[in-house]
Amino acid sequence: SSPAHAVLGADLVSFSWDFEGGYRAIASAVQLGPSDPVALNAYAWYLLLVGRNEEALAITERLQRVAPFDTFYRGVCVRNFAWARQYERALEEVERIRERGGSFASAEAAKSYLELGRPEDAHRVWVAMYDQCGRPCERLREAAEAGWQESGWTGFLHAQAEFAAANSVASSTASPVLLAELYVAIGDVEEAFRWLERGYATRDSHMVRLRHPDFDPLRSDPHFQDLIRRVGIPEG
């Protein structure tokens, strides 16, 4: 079935770093179900991973048409627009979700607010994500809020990074790549690369997202380009 092919393709990419096999499975999913939102979601995601942003935006617009009232897929559209650096369009999707009585908070929504010069709104979204996480995130939320009170957005990021780094060894589910993104945001390139190398060594599934805009500050660094090559992320 179309959804089964889409899930297989996403798994091949994320866990085996098999972009060729993943693409074949996802392309089959779209061929079997050209209006299947699961397939369209997987295809747009793959296109973003390999830097084919314009094509990903076209698929995202198809996704908007086939699932106009589904909050999950509207959230996917927020992710896709933010990843393609279309931050205003991402926030338009957030507003559409809210207009229909839904609530939505994601890192991509927070990033969109931040890129448009609205750190208070970015902070609000992060707090909402911690609230949704509940008890497992309580200590992280407290640490981050203390950082916010001390020095605003910079303190918020520093506190998150320090807490996550201190607790990453104890948590086998912590992603080194997501922690690296925090260090990129606070400008600690050396620490970001240290965590990216750990992500590579442990085959963190998030290594496939190295073309995410969070990593734009590292884009021209030969070390970063070498990581993209080693993971095997295709060029466009």
CA distance 154 to 161: 11
Q: What pLDDT sits at residue 134?
A: 87
Query: Do residues 79 and 106 touch, judged by C-beta distance below 8 A?
Result: yes
Query: Do residues 48 and 84 touch, judged by C-beta distance below 8 A?
Result: yes
CA distance 120 to 118: 6
Q: What pLDDT sits at residue 17?
A: 98
Q: What pLDDT sits at residue 95?
A: 92
Query: Do residues 141 and 130 touch, judged by C-beta distance below 8 A?
Result: yes
Q: What pLDDT sits at residue 103?
A: 79
Query: Do residues 130 and 140 touch, judged by C-beta distance below 8 A?
Result: yes
Q: What pLDDT sits at residue 147?
A: 94
CA distance 218 to 106: 23
Q: What is the torsional sign of CA 86, 34, 73, 157?
A: negative
Query: Do residues 199 and 227 touch, judged by C-beta distance below 8 A?
Result: no
Q: What pLDDT sits at residue 164?
A: 85
Low-confidence residues of the chain: pLDDT under 50: 170
